[in-house]
Structure 1
Amino acid sequence: MSEVKVLHRSDVPCLDILAYREKGDASGQVERARHALEKFGFLVLERSPIDPELVKRCYAIGKEFFSLPLDKKLEIDHRSVDQKAFGDVGYYPYLTETAMNHAQADLKEFIHLGPLIDSAHPMSAHYPLNPWPSVPAEFRPLFETLFRQLTECAHLVLRLVGTVAGMDVGALDNVVLDGKHVLRMLHYPAVEERRAAQGAMRAAPHTGINMIGLQLPASHPGLQFCTPAGEWVVLDSELQDYTTVNIGEILAMIKGGGLRPTLHQVVNPQTGADAASRWAVVFFFVPNPLKTLSVHEETSGNRRSVLAGDLLLERFRKIGTRVARTDS
């Protein structure tokens, strides 16, 4: 791999999503976002509705969960959950997920939390209820609050990106209404030398099937982005304290040119303190799977109508996070 360029605060137009929430296009954030997407292909959020103190508390509680014995974590194993038609919630053990077109499974374990619905919600016929850990006791209330803040932030960012791309923002709002959003809390254990030597990574290069993805500041470095020019970049220590946004495949497919899915990866640490465990939180802002989308096919250059849920299920099966149903 070629040398990775380090980006500093003076290089990147950081965004203030709170200003955008208050003033909209008049906030000056649209042009900043346009410049960031054209040059880097991702966004950096300097301010957002996400409470940094809440994030710290969630990390602490998340670490407690991942420190539990495996049998305790498996009490909410994703394979024991009725995932309904479109679910992917619960605990995913180490080496569960494999990036598209990569031979080795990613060196991580994680927990997925889906939409905060109850059995009376119309989407409960399609989404499972979240299987919450019994311990730590604070897990559910903290992560429910974080889920709501991430949802608000993602919605604002989607509207901002849609404005930059000249898209119908109202139509985008409709696509994500009651969407199958996912909060993912990850634990990357200390890297096994044997697996690393075989080419395994904490997260091999990939793009997301979602509309947008939010990456909260992680406990350790490792996250890298590939720019539209094909250059791998990493944020310096100051910028790593900010939330970043990657563009997802479905949003790019709806646009049909002018937006590129953000290729990104989490590299293995070298030596020293960074070789220890790494914790991270990612939020996937996902369409409602029942919505019919008009998407651009890159291979043919044509547009076609497709159910969002079909796109989602195809990807889940390819990366190993969803077992194909045998009753449908």
Structure 2
Amino acid sequence: MPVPAPELGSFSFVPETKENLDWADLVTLDFSLLGTPEGRAQLVATLVRAVREDGFFYVKNFGISQERVNRQFALGKRFYELPLEEKLKYVPEGLDNGKFNGYIPAGRRILDETSGLRDRVEMYNIPKFDGYFPHEHPALIEEHIAEIEEFAKSLDSEVLEPLHRLLAVALELPEDTFLQLHKYEKKSEDHLRYMKYTKYSPEENLKLGRIWGRGHTDLGTFTLLFRQPVAALQIRHHTTGAWKWVKPQDGTLTVNTCDALSFLTGGFVKSTVHRVAAPPKDQEHVDRLGLLYFQRPNNDVKLATVSASPVLQREGLTQNEFERTGNPVPTMEGASLACMLCALAPKWTFAKQKWQRTKNIVSTDPAFQTAQILPGWNEKVYA
């Protein structure tokens, strides 16, 4: 049940764009079908199409009311109204080395070298409520922490758990296969995020080529993006390389599949490249507020292919990039026992986070865009 909490005030979404954008044709998983064998079979087939072809899809009827979602948007809005000096008290120690829980200020990355324009993205990351992370927040967040915890945990039980069960069935594995790798009570780097993109002027958007954040993949398992109508998210088709806009859909959340899940499935699940573009001109005058949840495998999970899957065996997908190249297979966060004494123990999360958080980098620098994250994995340029 939702936790009673102090009044937050209302949150008003801006009108949707009226521009005729090239929208991606994404499938929708309707969780109301989970209650019957026939419905579950339909969802399994739909999920396979989603993770193989697009890597992005919608979920609806997932048991979390729009009112509860709107309260989180309202909380995020109020957080970003706090004075900057207050938010800066919560910048994580070790941000330059990949730490990310807390407040990440805007302006760390140069988007256009000629003009010197920097990113205007602020993030506030709230770690998982599993007992492993300190929760030190501004008073505004502390006043609502019970509600935030209930909301975050409901995403795990109402959205992520069904997805993991469906994926296991799709791969002809025991239904709890992926649940065992994502136990909520075990330490992992899951986090809820309030994210704000402050607008640029029309002239600044032209200098940026109308791109605010270049193409990238997420490092974890699933990313959940809650509907907000400022169009900016674009995804890159795996085969054609074409960029399409992701349309906000009423009563849904948008899900994308990420690197760790691609590693675990030998590439069967596509980790989809996406970017943030300047909003269309009829929405260019507003800031963009995001509400997201990032799921990652438990920290001790080795990112090796679940090669026992008969489906992966038939597809010839029994090794991921690390396994094929003979490089050490990283665990999600720490080193595997075999590499505990290695000087460069493979740690996927913080290796990629450190790259993402590189300060004062020019985002178009080819050396940055193709940097080696770990032996066996280099980033790629996504034009």
TM-score in terms of structure 1 length: 0.80
Which residue of the other structure, out of 280, 293, 304, is the alignment partner of 2:303? 293
1:306 aligns to what? 330
Which residue of the other structure, out of 245, 249, 256, is the alignment partner of 1:234? 245
Q: How far has the Cα of 1:235 moved from its partner?
A: 3.6
Is the contact made by 2:92 and 2:102 (CA closer than 8 Å) also made in structure 1?
A: yes
Q: How far has the Cα of 1:274 moved from its partner?
A: 3.8
Distance 2:109 2:125 in 1: 12
Comparing 66-75 and 36-45, the one that deviates more: 36-45
TM-score in terms of structure 2 length: 0.69
What do residues 168-196 of structure 1 show as CA deviations (whole Å, max 9, x unaligned)?
54332122122321111101111255476
1:326 aligns to what? none
Q: Which runs of 5+ in 2 are unaligned?
A: 1-19, 306-318, 334-346, 360-383
Q: Which runs of 5+ in 1 are unaligned?
A: 119-123, 323-328
% identity of equivalent residues: 20
Q: How far has the Cα of 1:167 moved from its partner?
A: 4.9
Alignment of structure 1 residues 44-83 onto 2, 5 Å: 44-79=58-93
Matched, 1:278 2:288: yes
Q: How far has the Cα of 1:114 moved from its partner?
A: 0.7
Relative distance call for 1:144 and 1:284 in structure 2 (3 A) is same
2:372 aligns to what? none
The answer to which structure has the higher helix fraction is 1
Partner SS for 2:196: strand
Alignment of structure 1 residues 179-190 onto 2, 5 Å: 179-190=188-199
Which structure's CA Rg is the greater one? 2
Is the contact made by 2:222 and 2:258 (CA closer than 8 Å) also made in structure 1?
A: yes
Partner SS for 2:321: coil
Deviating beyond 6 angstroms after TM superposition, the runs of 4 or more aligned structure 1 residues are none
Alignment of structure 1 residues 141-160 onto 2, 5 Å: 141-152=146-157, 153-160=159-166
Relative distance call for 1:274 and 1:145 in structure 2 (3 A) is farther
Q: How far has the Cα of 1:261 moved from its partner?
A: 0.4
Relative distance call for 1:80 and 1:74 in structure 2 (3 A) is farther
Is the contact made by 1:247 and 1:260 (CA closer than 8 Å) also made in structure 2?
A: yes
Q: CA RMSD in A?
A: 3.2
Is the contact made by 1:163 and 1:169 (CA closer than 8 Å) also made in structure 2?
A: yes
Query: Match for 2:147: what amino acid?
Result: L
Distance 1:175 1:91 in 2: 28
Partner SS for 2:353: helix
Which residue of the other structure, out of 104, 107, 121, is the alignment partner of 1:95? 107
Alignment of structure 1 residues 185-224 onto 2, 5 Å: 185-191=194-200, 193-194=203-204, 197-198=207-208, 201-224=211-234
Relative distance call for 1:144 and 1:234 in structure 2 (3 A) is same
Comparing 57-66 and 40-49, the one that deviates more: 40-49
Q: How far has the Cα of 1:34 moved from its partner?
A: 2.0
1:130 aligns to what? 135
Distance 1:114 1:137 in 2: 13
Distance 1:209 1:105 in 2: 23
Query: Match for 2:100: what amino acid?
Result: D
